[in-house]
Structure 1
Amino acid sequence: MTLDKEWAIGFLDDFADRVIENKQLLSDLDQAIGDGDHGVNMARGLTELKKAFSEKSPATLKDVFKTTAMTLLSKVGGASGPLYGSAFLNMSKKIDADTLTKEQLPDIFEAGLEGIENRGKSHAGEKTMIDVWEPAINAMRQNEFSSDAIEAALQKTKDMKATKGRASYLGERSIGHLDPGAYSSSLLFQALLKSEGAK
């Protein structure tokens, strides 16, 4: 499977569909420990992304990720837009050819993770989207990238105490809830897995 711009558009379209389909669930998760708008915000931004792709197909693989970054930065409210936007912007900067190899994917996503960490001033273990990104990338590097690995990383956020973002105001009460950003990130990596690119 060639990891080119058509592959990237397909993978991100699938991610968008998964978020739109799970919009209510994501907002319900956010209702428990945040503002309650994660699903609505992400679905709005990703609906705009699907529109952007269909109206004017990006010229290069790099442009697919840059278009994604700019759309999410401008259309998604709350913290998610800047965090996802920073991730995809960093990923686009890392791409310098029209195709990728499977072996390059962990490095591309690592660049995205750095974008999230820098923007959110956060790291693993704080009950955020990073708690899915980091284990998913590690699993890719070890050829253990699977639906189960992604799900296990997501489920681990349930027992964490939030120390970043709106959820951190709850302190101990944040324990027992899945992190909504981690959930939407798990949808991203499930879409990546299904795209064949990472298998």
Structure 2
Amino acid sequence: KPSLRRGKSEIITIGISTGGPNALTQMLPMLPGNIGVPIVIVQHMPPVFTKSLAASLNAKCALTVKEAQDREDLKANTVYIAPGGKQMKLVASADGLNRQIKITNDPPENSCRPSADYLFRSVGDYYVGRSTAVIMTGMGSDGTKGLEILKQKGAMIIAQNEDTCVVFGMPKKPIESGMADVIAPLNKIADEIVKSVR
């Protein structure tokens, strides 16, 4: 087993699908406005809906919540939601010092665009041993392959427990395979995220 873990996490990344808007509406407002890291979310949704989801979450959260834009620098205390119908990954800025969001029209993965696998793979390229990935309620298995890569690169993995998922699909394999470092009910996920960055 690689022992790349763990410094404090410098980024939080979340994959979520069915039941996601309600789960995020409960979980994100529990996070402090000074968490000190960016949070990047893939919520499976068609175009347009992600913008209104971001606006509704922004009104309820201490953190700034927005729909992600292409070539935007990642900033601490900001939540970026992948635009529906697009893929989102992280890339280096031109000077190599910062991480930026890259929005693409790359094909769907696991029939999903945005896809958690697509995002998670890119996080592994830049945050070895310094990331937290959260896999939450949702149908299917999007995110599992990306989590395997992140796990090899020392990420901390938090999975939502079966009881509080609307559909126990996306967290199922990460939990059953032993990949998840923490298995938490919805009302405890925010605490676990905060622990990982402190």
TM-score, scaled relative to structure 1? 0.31
Higher strand share: 2
- Highest CA radius of gyration, 1 or 2? 1
TM-score, scaled relative to structure 2? 0.32
